[in-house]
A = this chain, B = another copy of it.
Amino acid sequence: MTAGKSAETARPARRRLTVDRRREELMAAALELFSRRDAEDVSIDDVATAAGASRALVYHYFGGKQELYVAALRSAAERLESRLRPQGGGRPLDELASGLACYFDFAEEHAAGFAALLRGGPANRTGEVGEIVDGVRQRLCRQVQKQMGVEEPGPVLRATLRSWIASVETAGLDWLEHRDIERPTLERMLVDQMVALLAVAARHDGDVGRLLEVLGERPA
C-alpha cells in the first residue's frame, strides 16, 4: 500500500521532468535551426522533425513559432549569464579574463544558440527578442563594472564599456565564422583591448585614469 501510494506521488514529478526535458529538446532543436536559417524559413514542422516530435507537440508546448523562438533565445541567454556569474576575489583583469574564457566556452559549446542570440539576424525579431539581447548586454556591462569597482560610470566610461562589449560579441561571431585565431590568443587580445580602450578613455576623463591605476595599469 505504502509502495503504491509512493509510486502515485512520484508520477507527477517524473512526468514534470519529462515535460521539461521534452521542452528543452524542442528548444535546442529550434535554436539550432534558427541560428542556421532565417526564422521565416524555419517551420514548426522543421523543428518537430529535428526534435523527432510531432507538429502538435510543438504547438502544445509553445503555442506558435514566435513563442518558441523567444523561449529558445531566452534559454540561451540564461545559460550564458549563469556561466558568467563572477567568482569574486581575484584581480579585476584576471576576473575579466576568466569571464571571457567562460564566454568563449559558451560560444563554442552552444555555437548555434550563441549565434542566434547575438548575430541579431533572424526574422520575426520582436521587441521581446531585442529586450532579451539588450538585457544580456546590460547585465554583462554591470558585471564588468562591478568587477572593476565602478558604481555609476560617467559618459566616457559607459561608452567605452559598451564599445568593448560590442567588440567581444563581434570577436565571438568572427571566431565562430572563421576559427582561424587560437582562442587563448583572442581572449588575451580582448583583455588587452579593454586596457587599451580604458587608456584612450582616460585621456578624456580623469576618473578613468584613476580606475586604470586601481586596475594596476598606467594611463597611456
Contacts and interface: CB of A to CB of B under 8 A. Distances in A.
Interface stretch (A6-14, A104-112, A120-128, A142-150): A120-128
B170 A155 contact: no
A207 interface: no
Contacts of A164: 167
A201 interface: yes
A contacts with B: majority SS:
helix
So how many copies of this chain end up in the complex?
2
A155 B174 CA distance: 9
B123 A120 contact: no
Contacts of A167: 163-164, 166-167, 197
A190 to B, nearest CB: 8
A169 B166 CA distance: 9
Interface in A98-120: 119-120
A194 to B, nearest CB: 10
A189 B200 contact: yes
A170 B174 contact: no
Given A162-B171, A192-B203, 5 more contacts: A38-B130, A119-B130, A189-B200, A189-B204, A196-B199
